[in-house]
Structure 1
Amino acid sequence: MEKNAIVDLVRSKAEGYFERGEFFCSESVVHTINELLGWPYSEDVVRMASGFPIGMGKSGCLCGAVSGGSMALGMAYGRKHGEPMNEKMFPIAKELHDYIKSLYGSTCCRVLVRNYEFASPERKAHCVKITGEVAAWIASKLLDDPEISQKINPNFK
């Protein structure tokens, strides 16, 4: 499958998980990227992302999709105890933050949704779109990295 098709599929999957109510934003991104990478972590890893929706536990701070995106990047670039920090981790996490900020003007949940009634379908659609954007951006970056792209799940559908 070509890169654009994979990126579109990642976007669609992440959006679908959130849209259908199977996961919230951060969980959708983590689950989708874990699947893209061929399940390097148990499906239970999504539990670590469960406290981040609605700006970290409904506090309205950092967008849950961006938080989940940073966790997902850690799946590819993170370290274990005793290992040095991967030189790619901080720059790519910052790049994700800056990318979303450039698109939406902020990465703060309460700012991103300030023009919507929280319970409205319009707000949910907006958040679903951001979730898909984060997951697609990460997939694109991972596919561009020769070290990571070889780990992409060949059965990702």
Structure 2
Amino acid sequence: MIKEANKEEAKIKKIEEVRNIAEGYFIRGEFFCSEAVVKTINDLLGKPFGDDVTKLASGFPIGIGKSGCVCGAVSGGVMALGMSYGRCHGEAMHEEMFTHSADLHNHIKGMYKSTCCRVMVKDYAFQSPERKAHCVKITGEVAAFIAEKLIDNNKIEL
């Protein structure tokens, strides 16, 4: 019983660490939302992809190239899930990819009532520190959600 409590404690600690790392990249201006999530999860997984994988997420911030559509953090999160649940040419699709992507979508939509960037930030002036803080929080939430999925599915060890 104590062992399970320690494992749960370690899980909570790891999830918060992942949240803080992703948020830190955004706060410091090193990466935007989608890039921060992809970089953080790639590192969490032990870098199954080189650092250049973050470049693949560079077109998603501010709702796909500043269009205000799908939240960049959510887009980056789906990309990050693909690191563990995606497939290569000729492989069968892993059902977990769909399940976990939908779970991420539904989790963020449940928290913020949308996954559309322009809707999620409509109450903030674009250049305001409040909008940035809001987006940083979403970025951290996405990274934390994915970390929890990966831990629960034994994709990473504590």
TM interval, shorter chain, is: over 0.9
Equivalenced residues, count: 150
Q: How does 1:121-140 map to 2 (within 5 A)?
A: 121-140=129-148
Distance in structure 2 (CA, Å) of the matches to 1:24 and 1:83: 32
Distance in structure 1 (CA, Å) of the matches to 2:17 and 2:151: 13
Residue in structure 1 matching 2:62, options 39, 54, 59: 54
Other-structure match for 2:3:
none
Show CA shifts across 1:15-58 (max 9, x none). Answer: 00000000000000000000000000000000000000000000
Supply the AA of the counterpart residue of 2:94: N
**Structure 1 unaligned regions, length at least 5:** 153-157
Q: Secondary structure at the match of 2:95?
A: coil
1:27 is the counterpart of 2:57: no
TM-score (norm 2): 0.93
Residue in structure 2 matching 1:86, options 94, 105, 118: 94
Q: Secondary structure at the match of 2:26?
A: helix
1:10 is the counterpart of 2:18: yes
Q: How does 1:105-116 map to 2 (within 5 A)?
A: 105-116=113-124
Give the 4+ runs in structure 1 shifted more than 4 A.
none
Q: CA deviation at 1:87?
A: 1.4
Distance in structure 2 (CA, Å) of the matches to 1:83 and 1:74: 13
Other-structure match for 1:155:
none
Other-structure match for 1:69:
77
Question: What is the CA RMSD across the aligned residues, in angstroms?
Answer: 1.0
TM-score (norm 1): 0.94
Q: CA deviation at 1:149?
A: 2.5
**Structure 2 unaligned regions, length at least 5:** 1-6
Show CA shifts across 1:84-124 (max 9, x none). Answer: 00110001100100000000000000000000000000000
Q: Which structure shows the bigger proportion of residues in helix conformation?
A: 2
